[in-house]
Structure 1
Amino acid sequence: MVTDTEWKAIIENNPSYDDQFRYAVKTTKIFCRPSCPSRPPKRENITVYYDFTEPEKDGFRPCKRCQPNGKPVDDTLWVEEIDTIVQEQYAENLTLKELAYLAHGSESHLRHVFKKVTQKTPSQRLLDIRLTAAKKALLSSDKTISQIAREVGLPNVSYFIKKFKEVYGQSPKQYQLKHHENRHSTTLSKLIE
C-alpha cells in the first residue's frame, strides 16, 4: 500500500525522495525514481521499494526516462518492455503517444529504437498481435466478425477484414467457416469410426 507521503512524492516528481525509494508499476512492469517526469500511474498499480535491488528481482525493468539504476537502459531491454506492453494491452486504443507514455519515452525515439531492434514499427507489431488474437478467436468462438474485431482493438471492421485478408489470404469469415467445417468434419469422422 502506497502511503500518502510516497504518493505525494510521486505525483509531484519530488527529487528529494530519489535516495529513499523506487516505485514500480504493475501494469507496465517498469520501475522509476520518485522524480520521474512521466505521467503518474494509478495509485493502486504502484508498489514501493526501499531496497533498490528488489524491483528487478521482482521482474520490473528500469525506466528509460529516469534511469533509476543510474545508467542508461539498453535499447534491447527497452524494446522487450515495449513489446510486453503491446502484448498485454493490444485490445485497448494503443496509440504511439500512449505507448510512449507507458514505456516512458518519446514517440519518435520509441519508433526509431523499436524499428532498429525488431525491423518493424510498433504499429506493425501491434497489428500482428491483434490479427493473431483475432485468428484464435475465429477458431474458438462463434462470435461475429465485428465482435472479434472490437475485442482485439480494431473497431473499424472494413480495415480489420482488409488487413486479415492481406496476412492470411482470406477474409475472417472465410477463415472461420473453413476451420469450423474442418472441425465439424473431424468430429463426424470420429463418430463414424
Structure 2
Amino acid sequence: MTRLPALIVLTALTLPAVAGAQRVVFPNGAYDLQACYGVEQGTKCDFLYTPLEERSMFFQTSWFVAVAVDGRNVPAQALSVANANWTAYPSSIKTFRNVPVKVSALFPTSATTFPVVTVSGSAIRNVPVGSGARPATPVQAPAAPAASAYDAVMTNCAAKAGGVLVCTATLTPKR
C-alpha cells in the first residue's frame, strides 16, 4: 500500500464534514439540496432536480418553503430554473432521464440556518446557510503527519447542506 491512500484517509478523518447532499425523492425524480447562502434579497438555495423520465416539467414557487428558526414558514418568492431569469410564475422546461436540472429558490429572509426546507412538503432538516462569497483563494488543508509524502491543497470549497464542505484536493509529492 502506498502512502497516498493513507493521506486520503487522514484527510477524510481530519475533515469530517465531507459527505453527500441532502435529498428528497418523488416518483418522477429527486431533488438534491446543493447549498443555501445569503444574497442581497434574502437567502438562495440551490437544488439539482434529477428526473426519472423524459417529459415537460414545470416548477413553481409554492413547492419550496423554508422554516425560519422562530418557526415561520417562508415560501420562496422566486425560482430560477436552469440558470434562467428569476420568476415568481411557474417555469417549464423539457427534462431528460437522469440529466440534472439546476433549480434555485429565493427566500425573502436572512438566516444562518434553516431547521427545515421543504420541497412539495418533503423535509430537508438542519440546513446551514453560508455567506454569498465564494473562496477566491485556496484553503490550506490541515497538516498531514511528517511521514506523508504529499502536500495537500484544498480549492473550490463550498458549504453544502448539513454542514458538509466539498472541496477539490490537489496532492503534490513532497520534494
Global fold match (TM > 0.5): no
* Bigger relative CO (Cα 8 Å, ≥ 6 apart): 2
Q: Radius of gyration: which is bigger?
A: 1
TM-score interval, normalised by the smaller of the two chains: under 0.3
Q: Select the structure that is richer in strand.
A: 2
| TM-score, normalised by the number of residues in structure 1 | 0.21
Higher helix share: 1
